[in-house]
Structure 1
Amino acid sequence: MISLSLDGPADAVPLALLADLKADLAISDSSSDGRLARLLLDASSMALAFIGQPILFGLWTEEIVIERADHLREIVLSARPLLSIQSLKRNGADWSAEQLSGLIPDCKAGLLSCPQVGSQNWKSGHYVLTYNAGYVPPSVETAGTVPPIISRAVILTASALWAAGDRDPNLKSESVQGVGSTSWATAAGTGGMPQSAADMLAPFRG
């Protein structure tokens, strides 16, 4: 199977609330809101990059090529969780409502099975699938549907970015005479996030 393209929402959005970040940092005034909002957006982008697959809510259009030798029982969708199938075309021909209703989705895993007469495999061809998938980011108006553990990982990352301040990102430790020394643990493969945040996001990785 070859996924030729995937179209959907591309704009960066925060995956946690500014108010929650400020509460974690014990900041009550609004003088730093601008910088905190940018850090929250940076942390959200880092989380999405670490997860490595689309998880934001939107209407997605995915092109999939299934070769004759693939013998696929399931199509693995690029965006998840799957919410609903809007349309499906095979070699330019639209599937009927009855055919669409026969699809068997695993919404959380983003899998789509297609039982066919005499076969449990998808037929070869060029498919264009349009579907709703992804989590709704939180906002002041709505809680959204982003899992709390993802939002928590984003807040931990934004808090770490805030604590780093203007410190050289390559600096691993510093000493102040008469005060002591401070070290920063770094971990490979976390994309700059604290290890604890990366551990929270690990189950969502593609």
Structure 2
Amino acid sequence: MFRIIRFDLLLKYIALTTVVISMGIYALVQTYWLPDISLFKVITISSIVSTLLILFLLTSFISRKIWAVLAFFDESMFPDLNGTWEGEITLEDGKEISAKAVIRQSLLATQIDMHGETTKSITLETTPTIEQGQKKLYYVYRSTPKTPGWPAYNGSTLFDIRTIGSGKGKKYELSGHYYTDRKTIGRIRLTQVCKNSNNDVSFY
């Protein structure tokens, strides 16, 4: 299964970067401030550096900046889907219902909060994948109907990810068929309207 990042390579790069930065800090401190500093201090410096690197990578703001730079040079990377989305849900009988969603994505997880006029959904599982060069997103969710007394139900969707426009006007579109444990099917289409993941998209 595809991952946004390869954790084996990430750990190797963090270890290597930690050693290089720690030795550099040790050399600077020994040269300019404390010539008698013990080499064992490198262990302490390494711990601090590795902790800071991990915190930076797990911070959404910083990781997204690194992500954007890497994606600029490598278009095959999985896209950053963070933001607010709008579109529609097409029911089995052809009726269309307006839908909105907020996607919060990091290097480790993807969460989708989707709201329709009659229901709202929470994420149970999401998995980014690339199949034969096509970027896709597996999405498993639990929906709660607006009507009191109607039971919640689970569903799943395999989103195809398309790029619309280019340059600063580039946006993404998600589309795919959904299937639920109520034996219903349909289609969902969402278009990214902005990069802000903090908007309120609820209908009720």
* Normalised TM-score (structure 1): 0.29
Q: Structure with the greater relative contact order (CA < 8 A, sep ≥ 6): 1 or 2?
A: 1
Instruction: Tell me the TM-score normalized by structure 2.
Output: 0.29
Higher strand share: 2
